[in-house]
């Protein structure tokens, strides 16, 4: 199955795109991210906090994706806050930045998702695939957070998230 139809309602519930980030409920992707964060360096000197997320418009249209038999996806942006702590526990530095973290399935105008690569049989398959992909990226970030020396690196996101 390439097209999973009739998923507009669960898509909206999962991504909460029509809800301002500060008003999102602790469910769906927002709830999953809130439970997954903050990430901490083992010595506690650096934490990575979740602030929010948004999706861009898909760069490829549905017809092009059908022709190429590729998933219709949309860029996923995660707003993060990196906090460096002094040994006595006060904040030394705060860096806020939105980071591109790959792409997630996009909703078509007809309320469907077109995913020939993923081949979902139900909406839950899509949710599991999205959180699994993000979990892999965040596990990578968690592992590399320990490599970030306090006070170094003007671009800590490249160290933490790697090439995405």
Domain parsing of the chain, residue ranges: 3-161
CA distance linking residue 142 with residue 41, whole number of Å? 7
Report which secondary-structure segment, H or E, holds 21.
none
The angle that helices 123-145 and 8-15 make with each other, rounded to 10 degrees, is: 20
pTM, two decimal places: 0.82
Backbone phi, psi, residue 161, to 5°: -95, -15
| pLDDT attached to residue 146 | 66
Looking at 3.40.50.410, 3.40.50.10860, 3.30.70.100, 3.90.1100.10, the CATH number of the domain 3-161 comes to 3.90.1100.10
Structure tokens at 53: 């997320």
pLDDT, block means (10 residues), the chain with 164 residues: 80 92 93 93 87 92 88 91 90 89 88 86 90 87 67 51 50
Q: What pLDDT shows up at residue 164?
A: 45
């Amino acid at each position: 199955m390439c097209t999973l139809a009739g998923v507009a309602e669960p898509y909206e519930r999962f991504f909460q795109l029509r809800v301002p980030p500060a008003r999102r409920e602790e469910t769906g992707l927002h709830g999953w991210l809130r439970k997954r964060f903050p990430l901490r360096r083992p010595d506690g000197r650096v934490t990575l906090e979740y602030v929010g997320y948004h999706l861009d418009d898909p760069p490829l249209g549905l017809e092009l994706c059908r022709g190429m038999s590729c998933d219709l996806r949309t860029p996923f942006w995660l707003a993060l806050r990196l906090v460096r702590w002094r040994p006595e526990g006060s904040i030394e530095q705060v860096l806020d930045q939105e980071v591109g973290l790959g792409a997630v399935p996009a909703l078509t105008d007809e309320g469907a998702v077109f995913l020939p690569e993923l081949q979902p049989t139900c909406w839950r398959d899509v949710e599991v695939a999205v959180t699994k992909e993000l979990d892999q990226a965040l596990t990578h970030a968690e592992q590399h957070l320990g490599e970030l020396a306090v006070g170094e690196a003007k671009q800590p996101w490249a160290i933490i998230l790697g090439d995405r």
